Amino acid sequence: MSAPGAALLTRQPAADGGRGLAAQWLLALVSGGYAVGAALGWGSKELAEIMGDFGLSAAGVLAAVSCFSYARTIDRRERPAWLLFAFSSLMGASGNAIWGWYEVILGEPMPKPSLADYAFLCFAPPAIVGLLVLAKRPVTRAGWVCLGLDSWLIGGSLLTLSWSLALAHAARTAQSGAAGSVPSAALSLAYPLLDIALVSMVLVLHFRRSDTNRSAVNTAIAALALTVLSDALFTSPLLSDGYQSGQLLDAGWFAGSLLLAYAPWGAKRVHPAPVAPHPRVDRPHSRPISGSLPALTPYLAAAVCTLGILYNVVDGRKVDRMVVFTGCTVVLALVIRQGIMLLDNIALTQELAQKENHFRSLVQGSSDVIMIAAPTGTLRYVSPAAAGVYGREAEELVGSELATLIHPDDLGRVVHEVRRFLAAPPAEEPTTRIECRFKSGSGEWLNVESTVNRHQGGLILNSRDVTERVRLQAQLQHSAEHDPLTDLPNRALFTRRVRRALTGRRAGDHSTAVLFIDLDGFKAVNDTIGHQAGDELLVEAARRLQDSVRAGDTAARLGGDEFAALIVGDGSRDRSAREYQVHEIADRLRTTLSQPYRIAGSEVRVAASIGVAFADPGITPSDLMRNADLAMYRAKAGGKDRVELYAPQMQAEVVRKAELAGRLRTALHEGEFALLHQPVVSLATGEVTALAAQARWRSSQGILFTPAEFLRVAEYSEGQTGGGSGAAGAAGRAGAAVGGPDASRTAELGRWLLEEAVAQAAERHRAGHDVPVAVRMSAQRLLDRSMPRGSVEALLTRHGLPSGALVIELADSDPRVPFDELERRLAALRRLGVLIALDGFGSGYAAISALRRLPMDMLKLDRGLVEGVVESARIHKITAGLLRIANDLGMQSVADGVDLPEQVMALRAMGCSHGQGMAFSGPLDEYRLRRALVRGTFPVPGGAAQPALALGSPGGTMAIHRGSHNETPVPPT
């Protein structure tokens, strides 16, 4: 419970307690005022009679109404008792009212007997039954018998004593009177006899009362006891003859009625406020007395009975038959009760013995070790399970100090927990749990978990061996924090150690560094000799890395072929010296990891690219690891097998590329891309034989960026590197950029390029321009499983593009591409009339394999060969050889990047059939393309000729450009 809630609970009872205290003061004042008035005679006889009769009747009516109202608000179990109390008070009020009618209203003496006597006689029986209802009910027949016997023991003893003292004299006096003295004698004896029965119930209830609403019950008992006391004084020989209404004796009856009226409501409001439990203070000297009173009740009753008989004997009186008869019944009841208690004790003893044997067998047969330790820490009892758990006999452990059996490293913690537990309130913390290491018989330390309870100032320990569980937990923890293959710390543990290095006692040491390591060429190992060999290589690399770092440093595997190392700083403030030292460590790691690996009987080589980042002031663990990662990728982009230190401009470049990538995504979704076409011209006739589709990105200023501009953005967004060199070559790589990497953004741009190219080609065919369109696509793009099978076929059918009007330029020479699947895909496209061209022929090491296995219709020379075909004799010979291969295979040849007339003449002389480049035309928008197609041919330079069609105004000329990063201004179409 919260503190505000506890405060609320304690505040409300305090207010109720204040009101209850006021009611108590009012009760005391009214009762005291009545007593003072009665003692002074009320000032007149008439007023004394009114207060003595109708005053008592009003108090009785008030008690009856109060008990009846309270009975309607409580549960059914106690309701009959309070209804009986109400009826009892009503009878007393009726008797006083009748007495007042005769005395005050009629002015006549009370007849003997009268209705008032019968009303008073009806006071005690309901109260007696009500007290029996409130008593704690026995659960057995013997209990009910004992309850009746106890009642008679008390009542009979009081009857014996009362008869000896007064009742015998009252009976003889009543019998010696006039006629009708028998009813008078009966009435005179009925009052004390009923009072004796009521006193007996009060005493029995005192020892057997239930715990429900104890405060109200106690107050009601006190009210009835006060009433009985007043009745006893009234029936005594000293007061019975001289009693008059309004005397001081009436104050007892009046106070009893008011107390009974107050009992349910006042006692209910003064419940003690709930407070936090405090340690209980044992009081051994008071417990036996309070606990033994119920057991001593029969003997006390017998003693009272004996005193009544002795009174008659000592006084020399003749022993009355009533005394003898009552005494005998009391003794008989005592004997019967003792017999019942003896049988009950025998049964309890047998049950206790059975339970003791039961629990002993449980303790001795339990697999847990149960130990009892004295307050001094000495073991008093150890269960036999200690032999199986600790490997030590129980007798050997008994008498030894508990502290000597606990591991010294755990002893302080255990002592602290035990002291805290013993100081805590037992109601709040009945048990506690302690886990420590315990010495076994073989000298080993076992992990033991113990449940600790209090026992006579000492402790009871229920202990079990949890060594296997602790080992399993440690193993699971190790598995969760370490790489399963290399057993190096994983990313989570490495991140925690980096955070600890930055926030612990080394937080101000800025010489701490993080190294990110990537194995260059590891994927080729998996692809060539298998993943099992790759795993062996990773294990060996991890071992080398672990052996190369210092003892206080951390080597980790982050995943795949990526590793990391945390180089803890030495507190040096010389940044340059620290950078040199860490760079030297990183270079040594690079050299070690780049050494040949002996895997599966063969020698395997990989290199290592390492990025280093230092813990600058205020840097977070995530930022430090990100910086090391950026430096590692810079090392890979810079040629691999090298070490690169992080510099702030790396992050700035990442931000810039991320912004460009975001602009690319926005442009793609908002339709900012434009499609241009560059003519492919026959080198013999100048006729336009095909159109190469290329994408452009229109800027907000109306400038179309060339493929080389957004190629780098697309490649960055896919985690790739590379770029074009030269305007025509970069334009040709635009298709590869959008179709090469298999990712969502470039794949979407590739689909857009293909669909736009096919749609516009279909429109041109319908306009009478039957010129094929060439679209550059990568092998990965063709085999992309996210691309629906038959999408190219469906596209051709939807737009109605005829056979032979689409050329797919295969732009990928990656040897990892599955040639069998690629061959089937290309064969399916060729059956539809799609022409296949091998792009970049002469640049990739897999080009010959592709030419040998894949169905091709034409070869497209790489622009790197075309650029040097005039200046370099070696390139001239290589190009001539490649063209002879194409001619021998019956394939058409296309030269990419033909920008100069000299290149046109050289290529034509070598047997190249077609060319594409600035020597004829640059990329054209649809308007200029239609004009060029209407013309149909371009001039073929026989000497140093200018390009036939410039991108400026119609009929103008344009200077020849070699670069690929030029912006092509194209007016909106």
- pLDDT, tens digit, 9 for 90 and up, residues 635-646: 988 888 999 999
Q: What integer pLDDT is reported at residue 652 of this predicted model?
A: 83
Long-range Cβ pairs for the range 873-881 (8 Å, 24+): 876/906, 876/910, 878/842, 879/842, 879/907, 879/910, 880/910, 880/911
- Listed range (166-170, 332-336, 457-461, 876-880) with the worst mean pLDDT: 166-170
Rounded Cα distance between 41 and 469, Å, is 88
Q: How confident is the model at residue 846 (pLDDT cuts 50, 70, 90)?
A: low
Say if residue 340's pLDDT is above 50: yes
Q: What is the pLDDT of residue 191?
A: 55
pLDDT of 942 over the 80 cut: no
User: Is the pLDDT confidence value at 136 over 90?
Assistant: no
The pLDDT-based confidence of 456 (bands split at 50, 70, 90) is: confident
Q: Please state, in angstroms and rounded to a whole number, the distance separating the CA atoms of residues 588 and 585.
A: 5
Supply the mean pLDDT for the chain: 76
Backbone angles phi, psi at 516, to 5 degrees: -105, 130
Q: Cα-flanking dihedrals φ and ψ of residue 896, to 5°?
A: -95, 135
- Return d(Cα 83, Cα 439) in angstroms, integer: 68
The highest-confidence range among 272-281, 472-481, 497-506, by mean pLDDT, is: 472-481
- 773 within 8 A of 799, measured Cβ to Cβ: no
**Three-state secondary structure along 218-230?**
HHHHHHHHHHHHH
Which region among 319-323, 402-406, 414-418, 475-479 has the lowest average model confidence (pLDDT)?
319-323
Dihedral sign, Cα of residue 742, residue 747, residue 753, residue 758: positive
pLDDT exceeds cutoff 80 at 797: yes
Among 427-436, 779-788, 803-812, 894-903, which is the least confidently predicted range? 779-788
pLDDT of residue 711: 53
What string of DSSP letters covers 751-817? Answer: HHHHHHHHHHHHHHHHTT----EEEEE-HHHHT-TTSPTTHHHHHHHHHTPPTT-EEEEE----TTS
| Contact yes or no for 85/67 (Cβ under 8 A) | yes
Cα–Cα distances in angstroms (integers) from residue 315 to residues 165, 310, 311, 312, 318, in the given order = 11, 8, 6, 5, 9
Residue 244, both tokens: 């008059």
Instruction: Give the mean pLDDT of 456-473.
Output: 86
- What sections of 209-320 are H helices per DSSP? 214-235, 237-240, 249-269, 287-314
113 upstream amide cis, omega within 30 of 0:
yes
d(C-alpha 109, C-alpha 245), whole Å: 12
Look at residue 787 in the predicted model and tell me its pLDDT.
Answer: 63
Is 678 a residue whose pLDDT tops 90?
yes
- Given a cut of 60, whether residue 368 has pLDDT beyond it is yes
Q: Are 245 and 99 in contact (CB under 8 A)?
A: yes
- What residues does 681 pair with on adjacent strands? 688, 915
Q: Is the pLDDT of residue 454 over 60?
A: yes
Query: Is residue 69's pLDDT more than 50?
Result: yes
Closest CA to 566 of 574, 575, 557: 557
Q: At a CB cut-off of 8 Å and minimum separation 6, what does 183 contact? A: 113
Cα 729 from Cα 711, distance rounded (Å)? 12
Question: Residues near 178 by Cβ (< 8 Å), separated by ≥ 6?
Answer: none
Exposed, middle or buried by CB within 10 Å (0-12, 13-18, 19+), for 318?
exposed
> If 0-12 CB within 10 Å is exposed, 13-18 middle and 19+ buried, where does residue 9 land?
middle
Question: How far apart (Å, rounded) are the C-alpha atoms in residues 140 and 135?
Answer: 15
Half-sphere exposure of 764 (CA within 13 A, CB side): 25
Token code pair at residue 824: 């089937």
Query: E strand or H helix at 689, and its extent?
Result: strand 688-698
| Burial classification of residue 55, based on how many CB atoms lie within 10 Å of its CB (0-12 exposed, 13-18 middle, 19 or more buried) | buried
Q: Which residue has the higher pLDDT, 279 or 576?
A: 576
| pLDDT higher than threshold 80 for residue 690 | yes
Report which secondary-structure segment, H or E, holds 204.
helix 181-208
Q: Considering only CA atoms, which of 422, 434, 438, 428 is closest in space to residue 461?
A: 434
Please state, in angstroms and rounded to a whole number, the distance separating the CA atoms of residues 4 and 492. Answer: 42
Percent with pLDDT over 90 in the chain = 17
Any idea what DSSP says for residue 894? Answer: E
Q: What are φ and ψ of residue 72, in 5° steps?
A: -75, -10
pLDDT above 70 coverage of the chain, percent? 70
User: pLDDT digit string (tens) for 587-623?
Assistant: 999 999 999 999 878 889 999 999 999 988 888 889 9
Q: Would you say residue 333 has pLDDT above 70?
A: yes
Which residue in this structure is represented by tokens 């080993």?
444
How confident is residue 257, by pLDDT bands cut at 50, 70 and 90? confident
Determine the pLDDT at residue 322.
67
Q: What are phi and psi of 553, to 5 degrees?
A: -90, 170
